[in-house]
Amino acid sequence: MIKIKAIKAFTDNYIWLVTTNEGSLVIDPGESKPVIDYLKNEDIFLDNILITHHHFDHTGGLSGLIKHNKNISVIGPNNHIEEIKTRVKGDDCINVIGLEFIVISVPGHTLDHIAFYCENGGDPILFCGDTMFAGGCGRIFEGTYDQMYKSLMKLKNLPSNTKVYCAHEYTEQNLNFANCVEPLNKDIVARLKKVSNQRELNKITLPSSIGEELKTNPFLRCDKKNIRESIFNKYNIEGNDTEIFEAVRNWKDTF
Ligand SMILES: [Zn+2]
């Protein structure tokens, strides 16, 4: 039986805690204190950490958690973060607490970025860090637009019932933007209404699903007529899907 819980960190980060009858893991602990407090409260012993990319708000809690359990396993990409003990790359398969994760290489936000996909724990699950958000995608800091677009296409092709666990609560802002890019998309309007209500009550809007993202995330919809028209009207750009993606990403950066 798999349980997944969000632990809040900083202002809008989520550290995902996964437990099965074989143990526990967290993904992207940007801070150690909220994790340690939660574990203590729930009487959970933490065995494993997965890291998606090197940014501090995803790795800053490593040293604190290692101090707590010197034998903890830390799995992540090949980068400069010394605390990562097991380095993995795209297409690797790892078994952690009875869950088989396929590593997906998703460069763009950073060059080292990886995502973890698992389908042996019930509904498929995806931990995608800062690559895809509910209704949006990460900023492109290190990679190219082409790399990021190809990374998002890999995630887009996962089964539509895949539950998407991203690392930030950005859904409402993202859907406000999506609504501006595609004002006639009723799925976006309906989702924005639902999400705004959730946020008013300070509720989490995650996980999302690939199916939901396909209908409402503009970055997965760059091949759609509505978005191509919107980009043509705003920037006078016509082009291939990657060029449309670049224009949508630049629009979002100044939104
Ligand atoms: Zn990041």
Q: Considering the candidates 28, 54, 109, 113, report the single residue annotated as catalytic.
A: 109
How far is residue 210's CA from residue 134's CA, in Å, rounded to a whole number? Answer: 9
At residue 184, the pLDDT reads 95
pTM: 0.97
- CA 207 to ligand 1 center in whole angstroms: 18
Decide the pairing of beta strands 136-137 and 132-133: antiparallel
109 in active site: yes
At residue 235, the pLDDT reads 96
Q: What sign has the CA pseudo-torsion 92, 93, 95, 96?
A: positive
Per-residue pLDDT of the chain (255 residues; tens, 9 = 90+): 899 999 999 999 999 999 999 999 999 999 999 999 999 999 999 999 999 999 999 999 999 999 999 999 999 999 999 999 999 999 999 999 999 999 999 999 999 999 999 999 899 999 999 999 999 999 999 999 999 999 999 999 999 999 999 999 999 999 999 999 999 999 999 999 999 999 999 999 999 999 999 999 999 999 999 999 999 999 999 999 999 999 999 999 999
- CA 92 to ligand 1 center in whole angstroms: 22
CA-to-CA separations, 183 to 69, 127, 177, 216, 227, in angstroms, rounded: 50, 29, 10, 11, 10
At residue 168, the pLDDT reads 98
- CA 118 to ligand 1 center in whole angstroms: 21
Taking every pair of Cα atoms in the chain, the longest distance, rounded to a whole number of angstroms, is: 57
Q: Considering the candidates 28, 53, 54, 113, report the single residue annotated as catalytic.
A: 53
How far is residue 211's CA from residue 187's CA, in Å, rounded to a whole number? Answer: 11
- CA 84 to ligand 1 center in whole angstroms: 17
Q: Considering the candidates 54, 58, 112, 113, report the single residue annotated as catalytic.
A: 58
57 in active site: yes
55 in active site: yes
Strand ranges across the sheet with 48-50: 3-9, 13-20, 23-27, 48-50, 73-76, 86-87
Does domain 3-170+198-212 fall under CATH 3.90.1150.10? My reply is no
At residue 250, the pLDDT reads 97
At residue 112, the pLDDT reads 98
User: Hey, what are 246's tokens?
Assistant: 């670049």
Q: Considering the candidates 28, 54, 113, 168, report the single residue annotated as catalytic.
A: 168
Q: Considering the candidates 130, 187, 223, 241, report the single residue annotated as catalytic.
A: 130
At residue 207, the pLDDT reads 98
The 10 Å Cβ neighbour count of residue 228 is 18
68 in active site: no
Domain boundaries, the chain: 3-170+198-212
- CA 158 to ligand 1 center in whole angstroms: 22
